[in-house]
Each structure stands twice: as structure tokens, then as C-alpha cells.
A and B are shown apart, each in its own frame.
Chain A
Amino acid sequence: MARYEIYVTYKQGIFDPPGATAERALANLGYEGVNSVKIGKFIRLDADASLASVTEMCGKLLANPVIEDFRIETVEE
């Protein structure tokens, strides 16, 4: 059994409305110097599966390659 931690984020250049809203809200709260906020998804997978197989799962279902990038980290138990 392996644990995989997957980060799904919008591709570069794609407008991220929740991120942009958080960015404005932080500025409104008086935090200066926040240049960019991007909001994505975090998925944890415990699976008897190879990294290649998890990569396939991401490309097929967990992320949409048209708009999203994903990064997989294998966590040692």
C-alpha cells in the first residue's frame, strides 16, 4: 500500500476566480505584498497502485488536462 498526495492546480494563464477573490480579500484585510493567490485541490490516495497508474488516474478523472496541471508526491509511511 502506498500513499500518494496529489495537488491539482489551474494551468498557467487560466483565470482562477476563487484565487482572485481571496487575493482581493487579503488586500482588503490590509495584507500588503500578496502578489498572487491560486486555489487548487488536494487529493490523498491510499492505493495498491504504481505511480504510473496513479498518473493515469489523474489524467483521466482526477484532473482535467485541458485546464489543470497535477503533481503527485509519493509519501513514505
Chain B
Amino acid sequence: MRFGVVIFPGSNCEQDVIRATQYLGYQSEYIWHGDTDISGFDAIVLPGGFSYGDYIRTGAVARFSPVMAEVIRFAEAGGPVLGICNGFQILTEAHLLPGAMLRNSGLKFICKQVSLRAEDSVCQWLDQPVGTILQFPINHNEGNYYCDAQTLSQLKANGQVVLRYVEADGSTAPGGSAPNGSLDDIAGICNERGNVFGLMPHPERMVDPINGGTDGQPFFTTIVRKLAEVAG
């Protein structure tokens, strides 16, 4: 099992992903954004950071990095792709996931621990029972997920909403629990097939218990198990 972690100019969470996956016993290597060969990897992770200084829009320039043509091909062939934070923003810009990211509604860069509820989704990266509450850190300025009403109803109907922001007790506050104003409290979505998954929170930082929690482990172990099942 070999994870590939793409480094764009301005990525800064790539080492977190490498360490998290290696902690779980998987092979994990960096992929430079200028590379055009990603063969030999079983899963691709686009890490957090500020690729290309977030210029134009978050993820807008990274989306055209040479490696992205290969990542898109890999994803369209059913290969598992995970986008965390800036990686999620890149996935929406690349149209591998629907919608777009807006500035946080409060105009603040938010850096805090949040509670998330696992939803009933087709996501191949997570098979936690529906309603499981997970604790992850977020740190972003543009995590305010937006899509039009038609796309939102499709996301819901297809089981593409993977994670929602909730209160610590799992409830939803009146007016919503998203700290960033995200539409319908959405924290993470996947594509229709479930192999491409993007989320604003950072599961890779909750893998090694030394960081204060292990809620991020199921993301990586689930996709590895699913790949093993497919391989038979």
C-alpha cells in the first residue's frame, strides 16, 4: 500500500500526511507538483497549505500543475484521492468535486478543534457508523463551502455529504454549527463514486495519539482495507 502526497509550492501539511500514513504502517512518498508520472501509487493525497500563495483563488493555480492532469486521470479511473484543506480547495477548482470555497463568513482565519458528524455517505475513505462524532482541528481562511441549490440537493440525494460540523454533543445549533459559514454545515464531500473525498478539517493530525487523538485513523485504514478488498 503506497500513498503519494503531492507537494505544491506553498503546501505545508505534506509532512503531516507522510508521518500519519507511516505511523499506520503504510508506505508513503512525496510527489512533486511538476511530476507527470504517478504510477505505482495506490492512493493520492493533496495536502493542506497555501499553494501558490492562494493567489487568484485558493487552489486555482495548483489545479493546473502538471501533476494534476495525472491526478484527474487517476481519479476518473476510480483511484482514491483525498484532498485535505487546501487539497479540498484544489479538488473543487479541478472540478473533481462540485462547488467552491468562499471566505469564512466571519472574515477570520479559524484555527481550532471542531466536532464533526459522520453522515450516511458513499465515501470510500470513511465507513464510520452514521452519527459518529469525530474531533479534528481546522485551520483555514476559505472553508466556507458553497454550491447552488440544485447541486446541494444532488449531493444529499447521492450520499455525497460525508461530514458536517456539529456542536460537541453532536447537535446542530440553531442557525448552523459551521464555524466558517459553510453551506448546510458541510465539512467534507465526495464525488458520486465515493473515491474522491475532500474535507477542510485535518484528519492526518489526529492519527498519532501524541497529537491528542486518533479520530483520523479510520480515514486511512478504511481506504486501505477497501483497496485490499478490491485487489481480492
Q: A residues within 8 Å of B by Cβ?
A: 14-15, 17-18, 21, 61-62, 64, 66-67
What A residues does B144 contact at CB under 8 A?
17
Q: Select one of A18, A62, A66 contacting B99, CB under 8 A.
A: A66
What B residues does A15 contact at CB under 8 A?
102, 105, 181
- Tally of A-B residue pairs with Cβ under 8 A? 35
Give the distance in Å from the alpha carbon of A14 to the alpha carbon of B99 in the complex: 12
What B residues does A14 contact at CB under 8 A?
102, 146
A64→B93 contact, CB < 8 A = yes
Q: Select one of B64, B102, B107, B148 contacting A21, CB under 8 A.
A: B107
B2 part of interface (Cβ distance < 8 Å): no
Give the distance in Å from the alpha carbon of A62 to the alpha carbon of B56 in the complex: 7
A17→B99 contact, CB < 8 A = no
B45 part of interface (Cβ distance < 8 Å): no
B53 part of interface (Cβ distance < 8 Å): no
Q: B residues within 8 Å of A by Cβ?
A: 56-57, 60-61, 64, 92-93, 98-100, 102-107, 144, 146-148, 181
Give the distance in Å from the alpha carbon of A67 to the alpha carbon of B107 in the complex: 18
Looking at the assembled complex, report how far the CB atom of A42 sits from the nearest CB atom of chain B, in whole angstroms: 13
B107→A17 contact, CB < 8 A = yes
B105→A61 contact, CB < 8 A = no
Q: Select one of B60, B105, B148 contacting A64, CB under 8 A.
A: B60
Give the distance in Å from the alpha carbon of A21 to the alpha carbon of B103 in the complex: 12
A18→B93 contact, CB < 8 A = no
A17→B100 contact, CB < 8 A = no
B60→A67 contact, CB < 8 A = no
Given contacts A14-B146, A15-B181, A17-B107, contact A67 B56 (CB under 8 A): no
Known: A61-B60, A66-B146, A67-B100. 20 other contacts (CB 8 A): A15-B102, A17-B102, A17-B103, A17-B104, A17-B105, A17-B107, A17-B181, A18-B103, A21-B107, A61-B56, A61-B61, A61-B64, A64-B57, A64-B60, A64-B100, A66-B92, A66-B98, A66-B100, A66-B147, A66-B148
